[in-house]
């Protein structure tokens, strides 16, 4: 199984700007030979059971798998600048058991958090954490590919959103819709900070045949999935969602795998993507999930129901916007 824990280290990273790592001949041949995809039936099953598999992951590992991410302020200088503001609202998507959030809350009293995760079990671990403070943090379960985030986070209320090893767990076809969903709760001019798996990361090269779901997309033995991003791919996802790329680079670091006694090269990708003022009126969801989000986002079901028969498409595209306006002053 490809490793998920190796990136949780508190050591400096080497920025390599815009060039992916070069494969040696053995690595190149291995990837070229791995052309057979997991059967379509199993791929569909993995998509349907994605939440179940992540919930089982947290059932097995509880809060002991990932280390606290003390490196975040060093790698994202924007998080270090939050102290200069009276109040700074961060929305962490894919919060897991709080390894990113709790160190920041402890270090900076000016921060407040919204935090969500795909796994209900992970959210319960967050709420039961000794450092959880309901006056500074709202934690909730959410499938960002189909649940309207504005049900829990007021529209245009977030100063910074984070996607730390989150997009890679989604099916590539759903990434743009997920980012659009997130963007609707960002203030104009605010940003999404991303750290994820980079193309040709050591974990990608370790997959044996029979784990490939698509180009750069693999399934681990526990049923969780991982996509490995090129800079071009991550930029295209973010820009298709209406965000502007401010920076996007590869991060590479040689690390020692103590269990196997070998040095390996980890490759990650990191970026900052800004919501422009012109994005502020968009609901932020693609047509493919609009029907699902209509029922989730609507705070005015009577209005939408009246319009649905004759104006279904219009109601679907505006559902998130309508509910967000109703909730804007609640929290």
pLDDT at 324 over 80: no
Task: Report if residue 238 sits inside a domain.
Answer: yes
The answer as to whether 31 is a domain residue is no
Contacts of 25 (CB under 8 A, 6+ apart): none
Please report which confidence band the pLDDT of residue 62 belongs to, taking 50, 70 and 90 as the band edges: low
Q: pLDDT-based confidence at 109, cuts 50/70/90?
A: confident
Structural domain for 235, as ranges: 39-198+219-249+270-275
Q: Does the residue 288 lie in any domain?
A: no
d(CA 251, CA 12): 10
**Residue range 184-192: mean pLDDT, rounded:** 96
Identify whether 207 is part of a domain. Answer: no
178: closest CA among 200, 164, 163? 163
Tokens 């196997």 locate to 260
Model pLDDT for residues 117-167, shown as the tens digit of each residue? 999 999 999 999 888 899 999 999 999 999 999 999 999 999 999 999 999
- Distance in angstroms (rounded) separating the CA atoms of residues 1 and 266: 15
**Within-domain flag for 324:** no
Is residue 183 situated within a structural domain? yes
d(CA 207, CA 3): 10
What is the residue-wise DSSP string for 191-226?
Answer: EEEEEEEBTT-HHHHHPPTT-EEETTEEE-TTS-EE
| Confidence label for 16 from pLDDT (cuts 50, 70 and 90) | low
List % helix, strand, coil for the chain (3-state, nearest 5).
40, 25, 35
Q: Dihedral of CA 273/277/282/287: which sign?
A: negative
- Tell me, yes or no, whether 73 lies in a domain: yes
For residue 125, give the CATH number of its domain.
3.40.50.150
Query: Across residues 3-23, what is the average pLDDT?
Result: 55
The answer on pLDDT for 9 being more than 60 is: no
Position 65 pLDDT exceeds 60: no
Confirm whether 60 is domain-assigned. yes
198 burial type by CB count under 10 A (0-12 exposed, 13-18 middle, 19+ buried): buried
The total domain count for the chain is 1
- How much is the pLDDT for 6? 39
Angle at 2 between CA 267 and CA 172, to 5 degrees: 70
Closest by alpha carbon to 158, among 190, 111, 115?
190
Q: Supply the mean pLDDT for the chain.
A: 79
Q: What is the mean pLDDT of residues 312-322?
A: 40
**DSSP-H helix ranges across the chain:** 25-33, 40-48, 50-61, 72-75, 77-80, 101-107, 120-127, 175-183, 202-206, 231-240, 287-297, 301-327
Q: Which residue in 296, 298, 238, 302 sits closest to 271, CA to CA?
A: 238
Q: Are the C-beta atoms of 151 and 181 separated by less than 8 Å?
A: no
What percent of the chain stands above pLDDT 70?
71
Cβ-count burial 289-315 (b if 16+ within 10 Å, e if not): bbebbbebbbbeeeebeeeeeeeeeeb
Residue 313 has pLDDT above 60, yes or no: no
**What is the mean pLDDT of the segment spanning 248-277?**
85
């Amino acid at each position: 199984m490809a490793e998920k824990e190796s990136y949780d280290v508190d050591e400096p990273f080497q920025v390599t700007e815009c060039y992916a790592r070069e494969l040696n001949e053995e690595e190149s041949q291995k990837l070229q030979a791995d052309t057979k995809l997991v059967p379509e039936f199993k791929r569909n099953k993995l998509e349907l059971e994605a939440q179940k598999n992540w919930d089982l992951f947290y059932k097995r590992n509880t809060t002991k798998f990932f280390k606290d991410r003390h490196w975040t302020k060093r790698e994202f200088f924007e998080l270090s600048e939050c102290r200069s503001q009276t109040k700074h609202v961060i929305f962490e998507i894919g919060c897991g058991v709080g390894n990113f959030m709790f160190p920041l809350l402890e270090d900076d009293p000016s921060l407040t958090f919204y935090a969500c995760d795909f796994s209900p079990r992970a959210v319960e671990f967050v709420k039961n954490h000794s450092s959880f403070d309901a006056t500074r943090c709202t934690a909730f379960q959410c499938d960002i590919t189909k649940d309207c985030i504005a049900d829990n986070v007021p529209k245009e209320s977030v100063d910074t959103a984070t996607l730390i090893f989150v997009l890679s767990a989604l099916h590539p076809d759903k990434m743009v819709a997920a980012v659009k969903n997130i963007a609707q709760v960002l203030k104009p001019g605010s940003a999404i900070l991303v750290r994820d798996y980079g193309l040709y990361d050591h974990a990608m090269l370790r997959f044996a045949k029979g784990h490939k779901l698509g180009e750069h997309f693999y399934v681990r033995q526990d049923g969780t999935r991982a996509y490995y991003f090129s800079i071009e791919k991550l930029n295209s996802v973010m820009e298709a969602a209406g965000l502007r790329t401010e920076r996007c680079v590869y991060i590479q670091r040689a690390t020692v795998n103590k269990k196997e006694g070998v040095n390996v090269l980890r490759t990650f990708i990191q970026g900052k993507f800004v919501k422009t003022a012109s994005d502020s009126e968009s609901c932020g969801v693609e047509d493919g999930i609009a029907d699902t989000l209509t029922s989730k986002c609507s705070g005015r079901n009577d209005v939408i129901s009246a319009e649905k028969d004759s104006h279904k498409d219009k109601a679907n595209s505006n559902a998130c916007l309508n509910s967000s306006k109703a909730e804007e002053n609640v929290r």
